Chains A and B, each alone.
Chain A
Amino acid sequence: MRDASPATTYALHIGVIALLFALNFVLPDYHQGLFARIMALAVFAMGYNLLFGYVGLLSLGHAMFFSAGLYGAGLTVYHLGWGVPEAFIAGIACGALLALVIGLLALRTSGVAFMIVTMMFAQVFYLLILYFAAWTGGDQGLVIQQASRVVSIGAASFDLTDPTVRYMSALALFAVVLLITLAIVRSRFGRVLVAIRENEERTKMLGYDTVANKLVAVVASGAICAASGAAYALLFGYVGSSFASIQYSILPLLWVLLGGAATTLGPLIGTLFMYYVTDITSGFTSAYLLIVGVALILLVLFFPKGVLGSIRERWLGWLP
């Protein structure tokens, strides 16, 4: 990070949040719904980016953290009748705990081995969801009824199925996670994470227990991805095994690569871009995945560091 006054940086991020807030009032219904979904999933991408972008650890198993949150929140509501806030916290706790266990095991490896190990664990997680179909609903999944998705705070009650409440809830989560990520990457801890990505051996020789730092990053990343999953279950009312499949481990990687790895706002841009390209192209052709693929290839060719990564490289060196 170069020559950025903290004020500029925070102003930029607050500005993006304010813009998203304003969009709620101008977007047509359909796009308002899409944006709520995109913001919830951008949180997933931000969690992934923390580990992949800043620490340089490429995981192919983050679907398990997302779905730990998804099922942690969804099943406690569905089977135990928990309220929304408790279920949300349960989802995050499941993701953080899972990340701690996976981190302790997977961080014995690095590089390709780390990719494979995380992918294997995620596959195990996926199969467990199918195996315990009696509770999880298997590949059919579970629908969480509207009645369970109402939050009461004092006298006021918020219905998460209401489009505006849903949009604002997704935005609130997005804003909190964005500011947390920004604070992390600007902190001393964030500097150590980047150093590990750049040269782990050298970082050790500066007195850092790099394994311990990576473990903290895995847990933080897992908890953020789980928050996204938990929010998804509560906001959109569906919990299903497809969210634990390999596809959902690869998607956050694509979103982050597109938007710009190791940029705080890249995950949002990548998620937004992918969603809209898919949405627009699937409207007029059934071969939309082909077009998405071509768009991805073009982007990687012309913006190898993703949208924001390239902008930072060429124009705005101070972007965090």
Chain B
Amino acid sequence: MKPLLTTKGLSRNFGGLRAVDGVDFALMPGEIRAIIGPNGAGKTTFVSLLSGRIRPSSGMIVFDGADITAMPAYKRVRLGVAYTFQITSVFANLTAFDNVALPVQRTLTDGRSKGQVRSGVMAALERTGLADRAGTLAAHLSYGHQRLLEVAMGLALKPRLLILDEPTQGLADGEIDNFITLVREIAKDATVLLIEHNMPVVMQLANRITVFNSGKILAEGTPGEIRAHTQVQDAYLGATHG
């Protein structure tokens, strides 16, 4: 099987800081991959490079066999790369319905889905448990619901690769259980790349885990392998969740 996404020597500097430093990475279709690592390890910067939100200083990104390194973000989205933000950035002054209608109508225009905007929106809201909040302004939703709305918007893009940046941050325990079920369902027809600090979530969901530290990949393997990895324990598990 060919990887869905690969990067070669992918780097991004901020001034003198090497936030992402020569990363070689490959993601197989259909997998749920978790990225973990301490604060400031470069996880968000790395996935921002994949989504096109920021430009790399050097290196290359290949998605589904095509070099997308120089492709603007909006075109990557149309190819099926969806990104949900670490810092919730739903449209606060629009209703939950309108927030999700934007990605739904995009896929309709691109011919990647069929039907009515309304039914597409309600389907995405139902999957995330927000159907009864359709008419509520996003600003008036609880924080947890805003996180879910962010996921609903990503889902509604019909992604082939869904990048979730710390989706469970701020969710209550009950909401996290629902979220795990949701991601498993999403993964039936999309590849999921998940940045996550909550280790139980990572261990339950991920097929493989990539550990970032100082802009580089420190380790990669199955959840069992990563748990046994002593360097990882020093760099991350011990340090932030000791």
Chain A contact residues, CB within 8 Å of chain B = 1-3, 188, 191-192, 194-195, 198-199, 201-210
Known: A2-B135, A3-B135, A188-B117. A208 touches B91 (CB 8 A): no
Instruction: Point out the residues of chain B lying under 8 angstroms from A1, CB to CB.
Output: 95, 98
Contact at B102–A206, with CB atoms within 8 Å? yes
Tell me which of B59-67, B71-79, B180-188, B231-239 binds A.
B71-79
B89 touches A209 (CB 8 A): no
Question: Inside 8 A of B110's CB, which chain A residues have their CB?
Answer: 207
- Shortest beta-carbon distance, B138 to chain A, in Å? 10
Docked-complex contact B102 and A195, CB < 8 angstroms: yes
* Pick from B74, B85, B93, B117: contact of A198, CB under 8 Å: B93
Q: How many residues of B contact A (CB 8 A)?
A: 29
How far, in whole Å, are A192 and B117 apart by their CA atoms in the complex?
Answer: 14
* Assembly CA distance A194 to B93 (angstroms): 10
Interface residues of B (CB under 8 A from A): 51, 53, 72-74, 77-78, 83, 85, 89-95, 98, 101-103, 105-107, 109-110, 117, 135, 153, 157
Checking A2, A199, A206 against B106 with a beta-carbon cut-off of 8 angstroms, the contacting residue is: A206
A-B contacts, 21 of them at CB < 8 A, read: A192-B102, A195-B91, A198-B92, A199-B89, A199-B91, A201-B53, A201-B89, A203-B102, A205-B51, A205-B83, A206-B102, A206-B153, A206-B157, A207-B77, A207-B78, A207-B103, A207-B106, A207-B110, A209-B72, A209-B74, A210-B74
- For the complex with contacts A202-B90, A205-B53, 9 further pairs of A-B residues with Cβ separation under 8 Å are A195-B102, A202-B85, A203-B102, A204-B74, A204-B77, A205-B77, A206-B106, A207-B77, A209-B74
- Least CB distance from B161 to A in Å reads 13
Whether the Cβ atoms of B73 and A205 lie closer than 8 Å is yes
Cβ contacts under 8 Å, B102 to chain A: 191-192, 195, 203, 206, 208
Q: Are B101 and A191 in contact (CB under 8 A)?
A: yes
Collect the chain A residues with CB atoms within 8 Å of residue B74's CB. 204-205, 207-210
**Would B94 and A198 count as touching, CB distance under 8 A?**
yes
Closest 7 CB pairs of A and B: A207-B77, A207-B106, A188-B105, A198-B91, A204-B74, A206-B103, A207-B78
Q: Give which listed residue, A2, A188, A204, contacts B95 with CB less than 8 A.
A: A2
Given contacts A2-B95, A3-B135, A191-B101, contact A208 B89 (CB under 8 A): no
Smallest distance from the beta carbon of B220 to chain A beta carbons, Å? 27
Q: Are B94 and A195 touching (Cβ within 8 A)?
A: yes
- Bound CA–CA A192/B101 (angstroms): 10
In-complex Cβ contact of A204 among B73, B94, B101, B103 (8 A): B73
On chain A, the residues within 8 Å of B98 by CB distance are 1, 191, 194
* Residues of A with C-beta under 8 A to B107: 207
Residues of B within 8 A of A204 (CB): 72-74, 77
Q: Which residues of B contact A205 (CB under 8 A)?
A: 51, 53, 73-74, 77, 83, 85
Q: Which residues of A are found within 8 Å of B85, using beta-carbon distances?
A: 202, 205
Chain B neighbourhood of A207, CB < 8 A: 74, 77-78, 103, 106-107, 110, 157
Q: Which of A191, A203, A204, A206 has the most CB of B within 10 A?
A: A206
Which residues of the other chain, B, contact A3 by a CB distance below 8 angstroms?
135
Given A2-B135, A199-B91: A208 and B106 within 8 A (CB)?
yes
B residues in contact with A192, CB < 8 Å: 102, 105
Q: In the assembly, what is the distance between CA of A194 and CA of B51, in Å? A: 23
State in angstroms the CA–CA spacing of A194 and B92 once bound together: 12
Distance between Cα atoms of A42 and B76 in the complex (Å): 41
Find the B residue at minimum CB distance from A210. B74
How many angstroms between the C-alpha atoms of A191 and B93 in the bound complex? 12
Bound CA–CA A2/B73 (angstroms): 31
Closest Cβ of chain B to A196, distance in Å, is 10
Q: B153 — nearest CB in chain A belongs to which residue?
A: A206
Residues of B within 8 A of A199 (CB): 89, 91
Q: How long is the Cα–Cα vector from A198 to B139 in the complex, in angstroms?
A: 12
Inside 8 A of B77's CB, which chain A residues have their CB?
A: 204-207
Q: CA–CA, A199 to B93, complex, Å?
A: 10
- Closest chain A residue to B106, Cβ basis: A207
| Chain A min CB distance to B204 (Å) | 28
